[in-house]
């Protein structure tokens, strides 16, 4: 049994979603053999392309220091990082694109946390005291390959092999059709990690395409992920339908034992314009093999930009896996939410966002997340400033309003961060 180490999080002031932004490099030691060969082969291809013609290799990236603060339990804590990302891309070989990026994260400030400090006492009291050390969270400096892929383009066909960006769905706050990524509700636009996969895109015609995806995340073909997705554009709308078979890992956080179950997901999404409003939605139904715990999830949203430049957006999200009564939340509910095994701990959420261009370079705004099921609220004010052409500044706060034990309990602490991104 290992101590709980939940990876490396770019957004450190929001420890709740620490696992969701970047895949934990420590888990790489448990990757299937096929996945290792996949990454190794792509690395060789990328290096080969770079050697073939260094003049045709684009090198770019960014440096991102972030200073985070949290006021919790009558004390103020700092959790900061420096992040360097270097991207390589080459088209030296005709019809083939090679790409890769490396990320280095250096942490400073408070690195060690006890997750049990943030859980209600009636939940902590159910955990045997000898298990307490396993709920320690440690931020460690990391260096890892986030993406490494090769893409072959032949007429209407594109084949991508390797660790690559994969995102699906039309929702902003959450994407029910995307089981590979879990967004941070407080910062949903932040970049997602790469995933090992073989992806085939077939562009049938104007606004029509098919996608097949194989993700070797299990030890064999049968339990690895397999997805088929069809997309078509009609008038002012785009529609997609998908089917996804995959293996889901669930952890019992009382014992840290893991179980696997096969799931079949049927999903659909749409996005378009109606009466001057942007509208979108997506939903899924999950069939769980050998169990009667099938569940569904959906999100619908709309947005509008006024003549003054004021932008507003509203979304409603429902996850039947969540609970409608917060007094029923248990340790597994909280920990599976923290680690991204489930997208939400409660059933119903409403997400609102506004933004206004104060000047050509400064945008002010913020979001509000209302957990309808347990009547707690998170306020997230933001300021974005394009200091120079390649330098962005971002200031974000988070303030929780809710009783202890609720999703956005004020006992979780309030704070924010200041992030600078320098592109090169």
- Structure confidence at residue 11 (pLDDT): 37
Task: Quick: pLDDT tens for 320-372.
Answer: 989 999 999 999 999 988 888 888 899 999 999 999 999 999 999 999 999 99
Q: Is residue 141 part of a domain?
A: yes
- Structure confidence at residue 104 (pLDDT): 95
pLDDT at residue 20 above 60? no
Q: Is residue 254 part of a domain?
A: yes
Task: Quick: pLDDT tens for 116-133.
Answer: 888 888 899 989 888 888
What domain range is 210 assigned to? 15-423
Q: Is residue 6 part of a domain?
A: no
Which tokens is 70 given? 């949290």
Q: Is residue 97 part of a domain?
A: yes
Q: Is residue 392 part of a domain?
A: yes
Q: Is residue 288 part of a domain?
A: yes
Q: Is residue 1 part of a domain?
A: no
pLDDT at residue 309 above 60? yes
Share of the chain above pLDDT 90, in %: 59
Q: Is residue 35 part of a domain?
A: yes
Query: Residue 34 to residues 166, 204, 214, 227: CA-CA distances in angstroms?
Result: 19, 31, 12, 18
Answer for the pair 142, 83: CB distance below 8 angstroms, yes or no.
Answer: no
Residues in the chain: 424
Task: Provide the domain count of the chain.
Answer: 1
- Residue 366 sits in a domain of what CATH number? 2.40.160.100
Task: Quick: pLDDT tens for 265-308.
Answer: 999 999 999 999 999 999 999 998 777 789 999 999 999 999 99
Task: Quick: pLDDT tens for 133-170.
Answer: 889 888 899 999 999 999 999 989 999 999 999 999 99
Instruction: Collect all residues with Cβ–Cβ distance below 8 Å to 196 and sequence separation of at least 6.
Output: 31, 35, 38, 39, 162, 163, 215, 216, 217
């Amino acid at each position: 049994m290992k101590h709980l180490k939940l990876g490396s999080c770019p957004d450190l002031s929001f420890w709740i979603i620490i696992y969701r932004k970047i895949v934990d490099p420590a888990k790489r030691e448990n990757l299937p053999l096929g996945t290792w060969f996949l990454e190794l082969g792509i690395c060789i291809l990328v290096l080969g392309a770079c050697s073939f013609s260094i003049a045709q290799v684009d090198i770019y990236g960014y440096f991102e220091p972030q200073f985070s603060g949290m006021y919790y339990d009558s004390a103020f804590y700092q959790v900061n990082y420096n992040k360097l990302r270097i991207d390589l891309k080459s088209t030296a070989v005709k019809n083939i694109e090679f790409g890769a990026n490396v990320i280095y994260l250096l942490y400073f400030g408070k690195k060690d946390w006890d997750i049990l400090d943030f859980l209600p006492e009636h939940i902590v009291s159910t955990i045997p005291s000898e298990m307490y050390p396993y709920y320690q969270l440690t931020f460690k400096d990391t260096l890892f390959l986030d993406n490494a892929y090769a893409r072959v383009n032949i007429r209407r066909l594109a084949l991508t092999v390797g660790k690559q960006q994969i995102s699906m769905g039309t929702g902003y706050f959450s994407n029910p059709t995307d089981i590979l990524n879990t967004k941070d509700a407080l910062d949903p636009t932040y970049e997602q990690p790469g995933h090992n996969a073989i992806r085939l895109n077939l562009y049938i015609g104007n606004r029509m395409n098919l996608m097949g995806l194989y993700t070797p995340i299990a030890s064999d073909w049968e339990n690895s992920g397999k997805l088929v997705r069809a997309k078509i554009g009609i008038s002012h709308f785009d529609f997609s339908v998908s089917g996804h078979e995959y293996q889901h890992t669930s952890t019992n956080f009382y014992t840290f034992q893991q179980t696997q179950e096969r799931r079949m997901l049927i999903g659909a999404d749409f996005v378009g314009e109606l009466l001057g409003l942007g509208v979108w939605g997506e939903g899924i139904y999950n069939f769980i093999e050998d169990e009667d715990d099938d569940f569904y999830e959906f999100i619908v949203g709309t947005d509008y930009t006024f003549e003054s430049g004021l932008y507003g957006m509203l979304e409603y999200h429902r996850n039947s896996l969540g609970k409608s009564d917060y007094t029923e939340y248990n340790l597994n509910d909280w920990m599976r939410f923290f680690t991204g095994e489930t997208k939400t701990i409660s059933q119903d959420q409403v997400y609102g966002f506004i933004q206004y261009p104060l000047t050509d370079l400064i945008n002010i705004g913020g979001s509000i997340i209302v957990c309808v099921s347990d009547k707690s609220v998170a306020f997230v004010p933001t300021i974005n400033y394009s200091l120079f052409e390649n330098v962005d500044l971002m200031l974000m706060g988070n303030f929780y309003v809710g009783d202890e034990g609720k999703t956005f309990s004020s006992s979780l602490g309030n704070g924010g961060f200041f992030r600078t991104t320098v592109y090169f």
